[in-house]
A and B are shown apart, each in its own frame.
Chain A
Amino acid sequence: MRVLVKGAGVAGLTAAFELARRGAAVTVADVRHGRGGNASWFAGGMLAPWCERESAEQPVLDLGRGAADWWEAVLPGQVTQAGTLVVAPPRDSGELHRFAGRTSGHRWLDEAEIARLEPDLAGRFRRGLFFPGEAHLDPRRAMAALHDKLVAMGVDISFATDARQLPGFEHEIDCTGMAADDGRLRGVRGEMMILHTPDIALSRPVRLLHPRFPLYTVPRANHRFMIGATMIESDGAGPVTVRSMMELLGTACALHPAFGEAGIVETGVGVRPAFSDNLPRVEARGNTVAINGLYRHGFLLAPAMARQAAELVFADEPMELA
C-alpha cells in the first residue's frame, strides 16, 4: 500500500512511522525547505499530560499518558523521565493550590524536597508540586532522530515538494497543521526563547505559576534553556513582541535571578493549530485521513493520533507490525 503523508512536522513524522511499521510504503512531502519553521520546531517538548490537565480536558490526559513510553521505545535515549516541578512565588501560592486542585498525578514538596530535586532552586520556593510520571525531550533532536529512523526504514522524505505533483497513492494523511484547508482551525500564537547560561543547572522542566505571566523552562543540552510560551489568540507569525519578551524574561528572572546574565540565543514564534475545543482530531474523508488541532500538545498527542490514523488506513487491510 502506498501512502502519502503531507507535512513533516511531529504529526506527519509520527504518522509516517506508524504506517511504515505496519508495512505501508510511505512518502512524506513537505513544502518547507527543510526541518524547522513549523510549530514542532518551536515546541517545548514536555511530555506532561497531568500538568496539561490543569487547563486541558480529560482526552489530553487519556491520549497523552502513553507518549513518553512511545518516544522512548521508538527513539531510545531521547526521553528524560525526570518528572515536572511546579513552583510559585510566595505571594502567588494560591495559584499552586488552584493548580493542584485542577489535576492529579502530583505530590506536594516542601522547601527541602525542592532543593533535593533541583539544588539550584534551594531557598527560592517554600512549596511546590512534583509530577513524577512526566518526561521531556528536545523536539529538534527528536525530530532529527525520527527523520533518520524513517529514512532507514525506507520512508522517502522530500522537502520543498508540492504534494499535489505526487500521484499514485492509495491513501493520503494530511498533517499540514495551520496550512490545512479547514475553516474550523484557528491559530494560537506562541512565543519562545532559548537562553544560555552555565550558572544554572536544572534536571527537569520547571513551571512557574503566575496569574498573568506563567512560564515554563525546559533544560536542553549545553547549558541551554527553552523558555515559553505565550498563548495569544492570533495566527500572526511576526517576530516576538517587546511585551511578550519582557514578560517571559521577567518571569525567568523570578524563577532564578541568574537568568539575568544568560545569553538570548534565539527567539522564535510558532502558530499552534487548534479547533475550538482545543482538542485534536483524526478524521477520514474519502481516501484522506487528516490529523490536526494538536494545539500546544504536539509531542504529547502525536503518537496517539498517529496510531489512530494508521488504524483507519489499515482498517480493511490485514495488519502486520514490523
Chain B
Amino acid sequence: MFELFGTPLSSRLLLGTAQYPSPAILADAVKASGTSVVTVSLRREMAGGRAGEKFWSLIRSLGTRILPNTAGCHSVKEAVITAKMAREVFGTSWIKLEVIGNHDTLQPDVFGLVEAARILCEDGFAVFPYTTDDVVVAERLLAAGCKVLMPWCAPIGSALGPVNSTALRSMRGHFPGIPLIVDAGLGRPSHAVTVMELGFDAVLLNTAVAKAADPVGMARAFGKAVDAGREAFGSGMLEPREVAVPSTPTFGRAVFS
C-alpha cells in the first residue's frame, strides 16, 4: 500500500483543484480519477480573509485528503505565512511548499524553498516541496527535514511531459527510499505512464485535466495511466534490443545467420 506520512492512500495520483469549468465538474473529475489527495491553493482565493470559505467547503466535501499549497508565493515569509494559514483552514499539517523564483516560468526558487522547508519542518509540518530535478537541492531539502520530494518534469502548465528523463532516473537512483512525486509539467496520460515506469511513487497534476475538453474523461484516463505505469514498474519490463526476437520459434531455417 502506498503511504505518505503514515497515511495509506489508495491512489498514486494527486490532483489539483484549480481552473476547472465549474466546481461540479471538479467534483466529478476527482471521483473519476480515483485520487485520494487533492491540492488547493489558498493564495488566490483569500481576498478578504476567509471569503473563499464556500469553495474550501466544496473541496472538503470531496471526501479526499487535502494537501493545501502555497502556489503563488514568491518569498520564504509569504510561503510560511500561507502554510500556517492553510493548517488552520484545513486542519492538516500537510503542505505542498512552493516558493516561486521566476514569475514567468514559475520555476522554483530552490534557495528560498530549502529555507522555508527548514522553518516549516521544525514547526511540525509534513512538507511536500515542489522542486527541480537537481539532486543536490534534493539532498538539502532532506537535510532540512523533508521526507517526500516533488520534482518537476517540465515547467508548470507546460504539458511538455518528462523533458529530462536522465535527471529523473538519476533522482530515483539517488533516493531509493524517499517517496518521489512528479509534480508539474505532465500533459497527457502517456507522460504519467512514463514517469511511473521510471519508478516514481506518484504524480501530481492539474492543468492537463482541468483544461481538457472533457476533464472528467481525462481524469479517468490519468487514473488508469498512473495505475498502468506503477504496475509495469513492479512487473519487470523488457529491456529494448536492436534486433527482432520472435516470440514463437522460427521454422524452415536450419541456420540463423
Contacts and interface: CB of A to CB of B under 8 A. Distances in A.
Is the A/B pair a real complex? yes
B37 to A, nearest CB: 19
Interface residues of B, number: 21
Nearest to A271: B51
Name A's interface SS: loop
B24 A234 contact: no
A187 interface: yes
Interface in B5-58: 21-25, 27, 44-49, 51-52, 54-55, 58
B243 interface: no
A238 interface: yes
A55 interface: yes
Interface residues of A, number: 24
Nearest to B61: A276
Nearest to B56: A233
Contacts of A241: 47
Nearest to A279: B22
A295 to B, nearest CB: 9
A56 B20 CA distance: 10
A187 B51 contact: yes
Contacts, number: 62
Given A56-B21, A102-B213, A276-B23, A235 B54 contact: yes
B45 A234 contact: yes
Contacts of B58: 186, 276
A232 B213 CA distance: 22
16 contacts: A101-B213, A186-B23, A211-B207, A233-B44, A233-B55, A234-B45, A234-B48, A234-B52, A236-B48, A237-B48, A238-B47, A238-B48, A276-B23, A276-B24, A277-B22, A278-B22
Given A234-B46, A276-B23, 10 more contacts: A57-B21, A57-B22, A186-B55, A187-B51, A232-B44, A235-B54, A236-B48, A236-B51, A238-B48, A277-B24
